[in-house]
Amino acid sequence: MVLPMKAFSHGNSKSVPWPKNTLFTSRTLSSSAAPRLTKPIAPQLFRPIVIGLAKGMAKLGIDKCVVVGFSYGGMVAFKLAELYPGLVRAIVV
């Protein structure tokens, strides 16, 4: 699967007529429950975060998604794919 690079672009909004070039809508969800990490994370800590994320996506009407995560977010992406395989189309870690 190739993701359109426009989804990850950044820069001067006046340099490109971006509304005409937008192929899809990107929604960003964040977990306020993510702890400050000072020691290794127990795998069970990801479950409540992933459940909350899935509920938030359901409220927004998102039925399939590509999850992009790095570091802690990568672990959340893996757990989301494990617990909700029908929700996750692909993950980028």
The model's pLDDT over 53-65, given as tens digits with 9 standing for 90+, comes to 889 888 888 888 8
The model's pLDDT over 6-48, given as tens digits with 9 standing for 90+, comes to 333 344 455 555 555 555 555 555 555 555 556 666 667 788 8
For 26, half-sphere exposure in the C-beta direction (CA atoms, 13 angstrom radius) is 14
Q: What is the pTM of this model?
A: 0.58
Containing structural domain, residue 47: 29-92
Structural domain count, the chain: 1
Is there a domain that residue 88 lies in?
yes
Is there a domain that residue 2 lies in?
no
- Residue 8 makes CB contacts below 8 A (sequence gap 6+) with none
